[in-house]
Amino acid sequence: MKIFCGIDWAESHHDVALVDDTGALVAKRRITDDAAGYRLLLDLLAEHGDSPERPIPVAIETSHGLLVAVLHTGTRQVFAINPLAAARYRDRHGVSRKKSDPGDALVLANILRTDLPMHRPLPADSDQGRAVTVLARAQQDAVWNRQQLGNQIRSLLREYYPAALEAFQSKAGGLARPDARAVLAAAPTPARAAKLSLTQLRATLKRAGRQRGIDAEAERLRDVFRAEHARHPDAVEDAFGHQLAALLKQFDAACQAGDDLAEAVEAAFREHPDADIYLSFPGLGVQLGARLLAEIGDDRTRFADARGLKAYAGSAPITRASGKKSYVGRRMVKNNRLMHAGFLWAFSSLRASPGADAHYRRRREHGDWHAGAQRNLLNRLLGQLFHCLQSRQLFDENHAFTSSITSSITAAA
């Protein structure tokens, strides 16, 4: 008799339900979210036949956390069921729309009993792969947080300090530059900025780490800050300055966190066996390659073919057909982190790969918009990446874009 397990996850406790292959409830239990509760769950599974040779599959509505880590050991399959899908399954068992934690656990167990082949278990990634996932996602979140704070500072400066935007916005890195943050911290208001001498500006730039062109930059900043600009009253301007100082403290911390995490990502990624394969692709550096590895993982059995990876990334089109109507469009349900990294990859590959550039231009000539052509290029790159990962070989431009290169040469002739 085969047993299936469903767990309704909560913050402080979890409801567990076990059903057999006929749908009968075999056992149910509420466990706490601690080591004692996890041990009780494993004992309950073992009591009903769980073993390394024949592990009981488990369905739960989350893919992360200590409970999932405890369950996802050995050969046990853990299925992360989307809560929306679980809600649809709940309607199959009753029309009253009642909801309870034990009932949800029973629904999850029955999902595996009836439709287990239709759901994908969590990938069996290595510890190295999971470490890269944690670090790469944290670094990406830090970059997004830094960008959000930078946008807030830019919006605030537009309110009362246009000279600061004029001084730093056109520079590479913008307000996130160390010298820009240092100068704004030293002079958070236009009045204080106008009083800065060349000596003070030089000292501030040196403290920020600038080593070349200090005198010229100090003179440029002095001229910008002392130029004529519209001003608020002094009291209002000082209040804006306090707000800017508070935001700058958060901004400095976000910039430092992003840099520290980037170093940790690089160290972890370069130790991974798949790093050389990722870095062999045009347009992929350490940070972008780590983000792709974080979302794809290193479980070779996760995707049956390249089409599965493309659908997971959202680069493959989806067809909606009903009667005589048919529509082919982009996928809305996808891994958003992977799609974000994929668009950056496709864009950067245009300058690093002649074949990628020829493929993109051909799609534009056929009528695709920029985003559509990039998505089509990403779709092809993901197929090549899947092949290289499966065959353990590095990227080869001549084999990857043979038709694209030949077409571009023919068109040029």
Q: What is the dihedral of CA 294, 299, 302, 306, to 10 degrees?
A: 80
**What amino acid is encoded at 209 in this protein?**
G
Axis crossing angle, helix 354-365 with helix 336-352, rounded to the nearest 10: 110
Give which of 127, 128, 125, 390 is closest to 270, Cα–Cα: 128
Tokens at 48, concatenated: 């009903």
DSSP conformational letter for 52 = S
Long-range contacts, 25-32 (Cβ 8 Å, 24+): 25/106, 28/102, 28/105, 28/106, 30/101, 30/102
Instruction: Please give the pLDDT value at position 123.
Output: 92
**Residue 95 pLDDT:** 66
Six-digit token string for 85: 């899908």
What is the structure's pLDDT at 403?
60
Tell me which of 3.30.420.40, 3.30.70.270, 3.40.50.2300, 3.30.230.10 is the CATH number of domain 4-122: 3.30.420.40
- Interatomic CA distance for residues 162 and 167, integer angstroms: 9
Distance CA 165, CA 177 (A): 13
| Residues 202-255 pLDDT 10s | 999 999 988 889 999 999 999 999 998 888 999 999 999 999 999 999 999 999
Report percent pLDDT > 70 for the chain.
96
- pLDDT value for 336: 93
DSSP 60: E
Total-model pTM: 0.86
Residue 230: per-residue pLDDT: 87
